[in-house]
Structure 1
Amino acid sequence: MRRGASAAAAAGVAAALAVAFAQAVDEDAGAVHPFPGVGVLMANGEHWCTASVVDSPKGTVVATAAHCVAPAGEDGEPGEVAHDGREIGDLSFAPAFTGEGPGRQPLGVWKVKAVHVDERWTRWGEDTADYAFLSVEPDEDGRTVQQAVQEAVGGAREAPVPDWTSGYEREVTVVGYPESARNPENRPVSCSTRTAHDEDDPAMLYIGCAGFWTGTSGSPFIADRGGPGSPGHLIGVLSGGDTDVDSTAALFDERARALYERAAQD
């Protein structure tokens, strides 16, 4: 799900901004997903948004956008349904998801146990609070998400550490899953670029990268990434944008940290 996503974008812009589709997991060849901690947030088993593992003591915390998991409030009153009028449904997380149709879940599917969202979102719908932290239950084999991801990449830690005091201008890699209508093989799209203040709302982060269609809400903004074993720092998650090229994110702050710490204790 993606708020304000455009129905069209210029192909030349995509080339100019050097968006690269990440290689999907090849189970038969044993290839490693380049972003194993990033995956699809599902509602009632269907691709709903993007989410990602974030480093935590128990390894059970996932980050996404608030509008993916809770209706926006208005005038101090809670919302009733998601912004598009649909029920959000039962949530689960499939890291490293890929493949046509129902796809493959090489690292399993984890049921969301608890959702932690700032009341600035649930009561007022403030864009600067459009982030959420989820705690997930162990999979059927008793593994936590982080443990599964570590195993998948040969033991290298892949979960970025949250950064609560980041500035607005950072070199980041953003990774997300567009909806299957525009991405039938369900491969994640990634872009490495520099963030800035959004012109329309300077309190929000802005990036210009084509390909971030509906479904990429919640995509992690990862700074200082150095590849496997050097996962970097998570500074925010994709919130919205007027087109698939223009994307915004709410920068993590101390209120985000409080939500994360609650999720980490679940």
Structure 2
Amino acid sequence: MSPAGKGATAAVAGVAAFAVVAFVGSAPEYEEATASPFPTVGVLMADGRHWCTASVVDSPKGNVVATAAHCVAPEGVDGETGDVAHDGMAIGELSFAPAFTGAGAGRQPLGRWKVRSIHVDERWSKWGEDTADYAFLTVEPDKDGRSLQDVVGRDQAPIPDWTSGYERDVTVVGYPESDRNPRNEPVSCTTRTSHDEDDPDMLYISCPGFWTGTSGSPWVADRGGPGAPGRLIGVLSGGDTDVDSTAALFDVRARKLYERAVRG
């Protein structure tokens, strides 16, 4: 699902493959990453509010996060970039809170990390192609120079997989918005992917609980726990209900975006 439900695609006003946002301070101390079952997954925030789900992906500098393109860029139409999100709201300044949890404003046990740059495929930002509904973000180090991946655990972040097939056993983790999830706890499902019947180029799973706010949730194959974080093959893009979810399968074009994020 999108930030406000995809069917009605949400995004940020003013598309760009690269964006800079204002500084968001990290917490001075962090809790143990092992206290969370999914320390690399968290809430993508816009102006401090829950907007989508995102996750750390393994990278050389430990500073890359994956999410859905519609969470960070307007859907393009007929070669033209969009202007605003579907509801007319600008998404605002982005930050990422891994292992977010707790009622009300919630806790950010592993800090809140400033998003420095956004990398989105033009197939999404100009044409609105669902098969390009993924994005890679780079985040700033904390005030002590530590990388995001160092804090969540170097051996916890899944490795991106650019050549996956459509039938894989995956674990999908996401954060529904608080109206459906008042304690702000992640939901997860381990199941097998298949081709989406309506769009065979998209991945499909059937799992309950993936309401609004779970867009960008990672789809991780071969996950085996700490030290065996698995392979990231896509992120949740859409679905008509909380049970039916789709994802764009990572491919060589996704790899190019990731490599731009790594350089960024």
Rounded to whole Å, the distance in 2 between the matches of 1:71 and 1:91 is 15
Aligned partners of 1:157 and 1:229 also within 8 Å: yes
1:78-227 to 2 correspondence within 5 Å? 78-150=81-153, 157-227=155-225
Return the TM-score normalized by structure 2.
Answer: 0.88
Paired letter, 1:214: T
TM-align CA RMSD:
1.5
Return closer, same or farther for 1:239/1:225 CA change in 2, 3 Å cut-off.
Answer: same
Q: CA deviation at 1:195?
A: 0.2
Q: CA deviation at 1:81?
A: 1.0
Return closer, same or farther for 1:137/1:28 CA change in 2, 3 Å cut-off.
Answer: closer
Rounded to whole Å, the distance in 2 between the matches of 1:97 and 1:229 is 21
Return the TM-score normalized by structure 1.
Answer: 0.88
Aligned partners of 1:67 and 1:83 also within 8 Å: no
Rounded to whole Å, the distance in 1 between the matches of 2:85 and 2:115 is 17
Rounded to whole Å, the distance in 2 between the matches of 1:60 and 1:45 is 20
Rounded to whole Å, the distance in 2 between the matches of 1:128 and 1:237 is 11
Paired letter, 1:127: D
Long gaps (5+) in structure 1: 6-26, 151-155
Rounded to whole Å, the distance in 2 between the matches of 1:30 and 1:177 is 18
- Asked whether 1:43 is paired with 2:46, we answer yes
* 102-111 vs 81-90, which moves further: 81-90
Q: CA deviation at 1:29?
A: 9.8
Equivalent position of 1:264 in the other structure: 262
4+ runs deviating over 2 angstroms:
27-31
Q: CA deviation at 1:28?
A: 8.8
Return closer, same or farther for 1:201/1:29 CA change in 2, 3 Å cut-off.
Answer: closer
Rounded to whole Å, the distance in 2 between the matches of 1:68 and 1:119 is 15
Aligned partners of 2:120 and 2:257 also within 8 Å: yes
Rounded to whole Å, the distance in 2 between the matches of 1:28 and 1:235 is 29
Does the residue aligned with 1:124 lie in a helix, a strand or coil?
coil
Long gaps (5+) in structure 2: 9-29
Equivalent position of 1:24 in the other structure: none
Aligned partners of 1:4 and 1:243 also within 8 Å: no
Equivalent position of 2:23 in the other structure: none
Q: CA deviation at 1:84?
A: 3.0
* 74-83 vs 168-177, which moves further: 74-83
Q: Percent identity?
A: 76
Q: CA deviation at 1:102?
A: 1.0
Return closer, same or farther for 1:146/1:30 CA change in 2, 3 Å cut-off.
Answer: closer
Rounded to whole Å, the distance in 1 between the matches of 2:215 and 2:204 is 14
Aligned residues: 240
Return closer, same or farther for 1:85/1:265 CA change in 2, 3 Å cut-off.
Answer: same
Q: CA deviation at 1:141?
A: 2.7
Rounded to whole Å, the distance in 1 between the matches of 2:65 and 2:86 is 22
Q: CA deviation at 1:176?
A: 0.1
